[in-house]
């Protein structure tokens, strides 16, 4: 299939037609946020599905029912995708959602509500690697080509939801004040219970230490990889083929070291550095 058949363009961003439509994007713009909603925002491959596991558990005090009975895409739907309209009436409050939207695509009701945001950021070098493998296994995305070719596309923003740097910057320049919390994928990999305590404090969940440990166990890479409601094994092979590359691939930080040549690293760093120049916030990892 050609790129035109696979993708549609929405306000300058390419999105796959399999999961998005004009109707779903209109539905997102007209969506009414509630003050009690929580939305996890990510650039693709930064920890979205992880937050789909974590949020219901933090919001419901560790009851495993949703993660064992509802597929992640219906449990914590994407704001912009087709499934939201189908399941919206079944979501119980406080509702959790995810989105890959940059800040300026968020709908009007989001801005007037008090809905909270958790922005998850991941080292862009690992985002690139994860995305490269995902494009190989996802039948609803185009072939990534060589790693070198895919890196160029990524750096130029010719990938889902545009440039990584623009996404990160957009969510740093908001009027959200204490409605937004920033967390990194690396922080979650390093110490998930500590990350869960931060999330729980932010959401006012007041979890006991025992519950934090229980959630950490159920949101570990291996437990999630084995959870059929979260590992995409319910999706037909033509859309997601885990024989090509599993969705739960490695779940580590630093896999980029196994993929970047020294030339690619230099090019990647110089582009990202230039685009982050003059920003008032600094990235939590060294780009080298």
Backbone angles phi and psi of 181, in degrees to 5: -125, 140
The C-alpha angle 189, 129, 225, rounded to 5 degrees, equals 50
Backbone angles phi and psi of 209, in degrees to 5: -60, -35
Verify binding: residue 123, ligand PPS, rule CB under 6 A. no
Verify binding: residue 251, ligand PPS, rule CB under 6 A. yes
Verify binding: residue 219, ligand PPS, rule CB under 6 A. yes
Verify binding: residue 125, ligand PPS, rule CB under 6 A. no
Site for ligand PPS in 152-211 (CB under 6 A): 189
Helix ranges (H only) for the chain are 3-6, 22-30, 48-59, 65-69, 72-75, 83-87, 108-112, 124-137, 147-156, 164-170, 185-190, 192-203, 209-218, 221-226, 262-276
The C-alpha angle 196, 168, 191, rounded to 5 degrees, equals 25
Verify binding: residue 248, ligand PPS, rule CB under 6 A. yes
Q: One symbol per residue from 26 to 55: x for binding ligand PPS (CB under 6 A), - otherwise; what is it?
A: ----------------x-xxxxxxx-----
Closest to ligand PPS by CB, 120 or 155: 120
Total chain residues near ligand PPS (CB under 6 A): 22
Nearest to 199 by CA among 68, 74, 40: 40
Verify binding: residue 139, ligand PPS, rule CB under 6 A. no
Verify binding: residue 61, ligand PPS, rule CB under 6 A. no
Type and span of the H or E element at 41: strand 38-42
Verify binding: residue 76, ligand PPS, rule CB under 6 A. no
Question: Cβ contacts of residue 275 below 8 Å, gap of 6+?
Answer: 163, 165, 166
Cβ of residue 232: shortest distance to ligand PPS, in angstroms? 9
How far apart are the C-alpha atoms of 45 and 121, rounded to whole Å?
Answer: 9
Stretch that binds ligand PPS, among 14-22, 25-33, 214-222, 280-288 (CB under 6 A): 214-222
Cβ of residue 95: shortest distance to ligand PPS, in angstroms? 18
Stretch that binds ligand PPS, among 13-21, 60-68, 79-87, 242-250 (CB under 6 A): 242-250
Cβ of residue 188: shortest distance to ligand PPS, in angstroms? 7
Stretch that binds ligand PPS, among 14-22, 80-88, 105-113, 248-256 (CB under 6 A): 248-256
Nearest to 42 by CA among 109, 113, 81, 97: 97
Question: Cβ contacts of residue 239 below 8 Å, gap of 6+?
Answer: 18, 138, 139, 140
Cβ of residue 122: shortest distance to ligand PPS, in angstroms? 8
Cβ of residue 190: shortest distance to ligand PPS, in angstroms? 11
How far apart are the C-alpha atoms of 231 and 234, rounded to whole Å?
Answer: 8
Verify binding: residue 224, ligand PPS, rule CB under 6 A. yes
Residue 104 designated active-site: no
How would DSSP label each residue in 210-227?
A: HHHHHHHHHTSHHHHHH-
Verify binding: residue 140, ligand PPS, rule CB under 6 A. no
Residues near ligand PPS (CB under 6 A) are 42, 44-50, 126, 130, 133-134, 189, 219-221, 224, 248-251, 255
Residues involved in catalysis: 100
């Amino acid at each position: 299939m050609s790129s035109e058949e696979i993708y549609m363009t929405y306000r300058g961003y390419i999105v796959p037609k399999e999961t998005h439509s004009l109707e779903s994007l209109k539905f997102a713009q007209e969506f009414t946020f509630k003050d009690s909603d929580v939305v996890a925002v990510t650039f693709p491959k930064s920890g979205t599905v992880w937050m789909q596991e974590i949020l219901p558990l933090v919001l419901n005090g560790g009851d495993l029912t949703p993660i064992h009975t509802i597929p992640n895409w219906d449990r914590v739907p994407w704001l912009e995708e087709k499934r939201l309209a189908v399941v919206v009436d079944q979501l119980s409050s406080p509702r959790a959602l995810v989105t890959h939207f940059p800040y300026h695509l968020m709908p009007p009701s989001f801005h007037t509500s008090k809905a909270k945001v958790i922005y998850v950021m991941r080292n862009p070098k690992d985002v690139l690697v994860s995305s490269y493998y995902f494009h190989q296994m996802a039948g609803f995305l185009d072939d990534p080509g060589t790693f070198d070719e895919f890196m160029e596309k990524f750096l130029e923003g010719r990938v889902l939801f545009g440039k990584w740097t623009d996404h990160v910057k957009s969510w740093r320049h908001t009027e959200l004040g204490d409605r937004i919390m920033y967390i990194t994928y690396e922080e979650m990999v390093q110490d998930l219970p500590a990350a869960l305590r931060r999330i729980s404090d932010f959401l006012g969940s007041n979890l006991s230490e025992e519950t934090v440990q229980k959630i950490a166990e159920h949101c570990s890479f291996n437990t999630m990889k084995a959870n059929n409601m979260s590992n995409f094994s319910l999706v037909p092979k033509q859309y997601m083929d885990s024989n090509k590359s599993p969705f739960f691939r490695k779940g580590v930080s630093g896999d980029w070291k196994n993929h970047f040549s020294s030339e690619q690293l230099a090019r990647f760093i110089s582009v990202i550095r230039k685009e982050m120049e003059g920003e008032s916030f600094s990235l939590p990892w060294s780009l080298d």
